[in-house]
Structures are given as C-alpha cells and as structure tokens.
Homo-oligomer: A and B are copies of this chain.
Amino acid sequence: MAGASTSMRLRLPIACIALEVILIILFGVAVEYDHDVSGEAGHKTNTTHHDYENEFYYRYPSFQDVHVMIFIGFGFLMTFLQRYGFSSVGFNFLIAAFSLQLATLVQGFLHTIMTGGKIHVGVESMINADFCTGSVLISFGAVLGKTSPVQMLTMAVFEVILFSVNEFILLSLLNAKDAGGSMTIHTFGAYFGLMVTRVLYRPNLDKSNKKNSSVYHSDIFAMIGTLYLWMFWPSFNSAITLHGDIQHRTALNTYYSLAACTLSTYAFSALLNHEGKLDMVHIQNAALAGGVALGTAAEMMITPFGSMIVGFLAGAISVLGYRFITPFLESKLKIQDTCGVHNLHGMPGILGAIVGAITSLAATKEHYGNGLTAVFPKITSDFPASAQAGMQAISLVVTLGIALIGGIIVGFILKLPIYGAPSDSQCFEDGVYWEVYLNTPALNLKSNFFFIPRSN
C-alpha cells in the first residue's frame, strides 16, 4: 500500500537509536540527582528535613496526573480519526518519550547558566519535561496524519530547543509568571505547529479527505482523552506552583474555569448547528479551553468568579473558532490544522496571556497580603504591578515571535524529501507505517475492523 519512499525500515531505527545514544551519553556526562533524590548519597547536608518534606510528596501525584494527560490525554484525544488510531496514540507515545528526555537536558542546561553545576533531576524536572513535551504534542496535533514519524522526531528536536529558549526568556529573564503555560506551552505549541503545517501545505490533501474524519467508536475513544485532560487540568496548572495555598488555589481556579467552559461549549455547539445538534469535535476540544485560558492567571487571586468568566469566554471562542476560523485558515491561509489546535491552544492561549497580564495589575498587598512575594517575587515599590503586567504582555509578543519564525524555519527543514512522508493519498492512514492486515478490501470505509494476525 505504501510506496518504498515511506519505508521506515532504516529511517526510524537510525533516528531512534542515534537520538537515544546521544541522549544517554549526555545524561551520563551532565546529569545528577537532585538533593531530594540522592539523600545522603549526594553528600549534601540539607537532609535534616523530614521525609514528608521531600519534594516527592508535594508533587508526585500532580506529576502522575500530568503524565496521564500527556500519554493518555493527548494520545487518545487524537484517536478520533477513523483510520489513524495506531498512529495517533502510537506516535504520540514515541514523540513524548523522546521529548521528555531531551527537554530534561535542554531545560536543565539553560537552568545551569543561572546556577552553575550539573543538571539536577527530580520530580520538578520530570514535570517541566512533561510540560515541554505537551507543547510538542500540540504541534503534533496540527500536522497529524500528514507526517512521518521521523519527520515528527525531527520536529521535536527543534521544538524542544526553541520551547526551552522561549521559556527561559519568559520565566528567567522577563520574570513573567506562567505556571500553567498559557504562553510557554499552549500559545507556543499552537503557533509553532500552525507554521509548520503551513509550510508543509498539501494542495491535494482532498485525496485523503474521506479518511480525515471520525467514525462512531473513534469519537468515543477520543472522549477518553478529552476527559482525562479535563479532569487533570487543575493538576497541570498547579503542578509546579509554590507549595501550600498557591498550589491549592491554582487547582481550584482551574476547576471552576473548566466547569464554566463546558457549559458554554455545549451552548455554542448547539447554537451554531442549524438543527441544534451537538458536534463531537467541539465537545472533545473546546470544553478544554478553560484550562488553557487560565494557564497564566490560575495561581493569582483571580477568584472563582473571575475564573468562571474566563472559562466561559474560552469555550465560546473555541467553538466559534472551529466553526468559522478553521475553515478560513484552511481555504485562505493554506493552514491545514488537523486537530484544530488553533481553537484549543492558540486563541485560548493568547486569551490566557491577556488574562494573566490584566490580573497582574491587581498584584497588590491589598489583594495578596503577605503572600504577594510568593506569587510575584519581583514586585516591589520599584517594580509595581503595572510593570509586571507589562512583562506579561511582552512575554506574549516574544512567544508569538519565536513560535512563528521558528515554525517557519523548522517547516522548511521538515520539507526535505528524506523523512519518508506519506503522499497526499496516503495521509490519515495507519497502513502506511503500521502492520494492518485487512480482512476487508483496503480503504473500504464501511468497515473499520481489520484482521491482524499476531506475529508471535
């Protein structure tokens, strides 16, 4: 079914093995356990603290929730395609397992610029690496079905680096706040991916258009992804915030934003359909926009009231995007956005950045009491709330700049004819890269049951 040019026989093993060997060598050279991981073994003397103060107990449950979002959440959200389930969940798995290793190195390396010494790993580095991976998977959603696994691994290499540089500029140089990554993760991942898919534009993609759709059960599989993302988003936004009330507040605000977002998603999905019928695409995606849109402000004193307003708007914007903006992007701007990441991550991410900047304006003793410094460590009489808000706004501009330019450059790198990309008629088709023995005629869309003999 697939031409020789898509064969992964050598390409994928070479890419995977080369990348993993390089990762292993760099880990051997540059990485060591964090204090809380090595204990006495690290010859540190700060171990007078009790076991229950180990960072592990503050963050590991959140880490596991984030981990589920990355592998089950993103992986299954993309299984909505009728003939691309293996690739959706399988390549998501591969790209994520690679990206989290590289992210540990790049994020850690940038951190050592400030601190010196080796790269330290522990539960915090695990969460940060998963965050960077999330951004890569957002871009993956934009190009889904139209790229080979080697192409996506290549994209991941560049994106992890650019993500980490952007994150470093925002959090360490500009002192922006972005605990849940409205800017660093969502805005960056979405616009980077949109530029990549723009450069990789396929004018004849309609050849596989029949496969660029869901079937009944694939939509239910996708709901597994949706619901895990929805349920665990409070953990995502709060995973890396400061201990205690800040982590507590971040989770709570996100929970309310998502609940309000769900109601506006259902409302606008029915309203925009001429028969008043709900569209699974909206439910699967737009109901999550409330988590994205609170990625910056969730740790602030935005209150449940404010969170719900933001969530409600995010759901509405996202549904409107699927209905009006995605077709416009495709027909006018030649941006083929398979999963609609512009609606779930792009616009809600920008909304989240703006909400964060506005909410920062209220970063005063009056609203935060003695907790002000914990949330906004830079704010003093010389650096008032308005300056923080300005830094937040600049951060959005920087993020968009790096994402757009980086995405275009990486798009051209991915256009080289060496990755075994599928032809236009082979897009959205598992059979190109996976063993799928059909017991029904190939490409018979009426049946999705292929007979797959086990090789063992």
What is the bound-complex CA distance between A256 and B439, given in angstroms? 39
Per a CB cutoff under 8 Å, which of B40, B440, B456 touches A371? B40
Per a CB cutoff under 8 Å, which of B39, B221, B248 touches A123? B248
- Is residue A421 within 8 Å, beta carbon to beta carbon, of the partner chain? no
What is the bound-complex CA distance between A7 and B277, given in angstroms? 7
- Is residue A383 within 8 Å, beta carbon to beta carbon, of the partner chain? no
Residues 237-253 of chain A, each 1 if its beta carbon lies under 8 Å from chain B, else 0: 00000011111110110
Does the CB pair A276–B8 fall under 8 Å?
yes
- Is residue A450 within 8 Å, beta carbon to beta carbon, of the partner chain? yes
Residues on the B chain within 8 Å of A372, using CB? 41
Residues on the B chain within 8 Å of A330, using CB? 456
What is the bound-complex CA distance between A178 and B263, given in angstroms? 31
Does the CB pair B368–A41 fall under 8 Å?
yes
What is the bound-complex CA distance between A61 and B337, given in angstroms? 36
- Is residue A54 within 8 Å, beta carbon to beta carbon, of the partner chain? yes
What is the bound-complex CA distance between A454 and B16, given in angstroms? 33
Does the CB pair A259–B456 fall under 8 Å?
no
- Is residue A333 within 8 Å, beta carbon to beta carbon, of the partner chain? no
What is the bound-complex CA distance between A443 and B261, given in angstroms? 33
- Closest B residue by C-beta to A420: B276
What is the bound-complex CA distance between A14 and B225, given in angstroms? 28
A contact patch SS: helix
Does the CB pair A245–B447 fall under 8 Å?
no
Per a CB cutoff under 8 Å, which of B15, B51, B123, B262 touches A97? B262
Residues on the B chain within 8 Å of A263, using CB? 16-17, 19-20, 94, 97-98
Does the CB pair B79–A220 fall under 8 Å?
yes
- Is residue A273 within 8 Å, beta carbon to beta carbon, of the partner chain? yes
What is the bound-complex CA distance between A76 and B456, given in angstroms? 19
Does the CB pair A283–B216 fall under 8 Å?
no
- Is residue A201 within 8 Å, beta carbon to beta carbon, of the partner chain? no
Residues on the B chain within 8 Å of A452, using CB? 213-216, 219, 280
Does the CB pair A31–B304 fall under 8 Å?
yes
- Is residue A235 within 8 Å, beta carbon to beta carbon, of the partner chain? yes
What is the bound-complex CA distance between A281 and B437, given in angstroms? 13
- Closest B residue by C-beta to A282: B455
Of A7, A43, A56, chain B has the most CB atoms within 10 Å of the CB of A56
Does the CB pair A448–B259 fall under 8 Å?
no
Does the CB pair B227–A75 fall under 8 Å?
yes
What is the bound-complex CA distance between A285 and B57, given in angstroms? 30
**Among listed A22-30, A159-167, A183-191, A400-408, interface-contacting one:** A22-30
Does the CB pair A126–B252 fall under 8 Å?
yes
Q: A41-B367, A277-B434 are in contact. List 8 more A-B contacts (CB 8 A).
A: A8-B278, A12-B267, A28-B303, A38-B249, A39-B244, A41-B368, A126-B252, A440-B446
What would be 19 A-B contacts, judged by CB atoms less than 8 Å apart? A12-B267, A12-B276, A15-B267, A20-B260, A23-B308, A27-B256, A39-B245, A40-B369, A40-B371, A57-B57, A90-B280, A93-B230, A94-B262, A149-B266, A277-B435, A278-B434, A326-B456, A440-B446, A446-B447
The 8 residue pairs across chains A and B that have the minimum distance between CB atoms: A9-B276, A39-B245, A40-B370, A97-B262, A16-B267, A51-B244, A28-B305, A40-B371
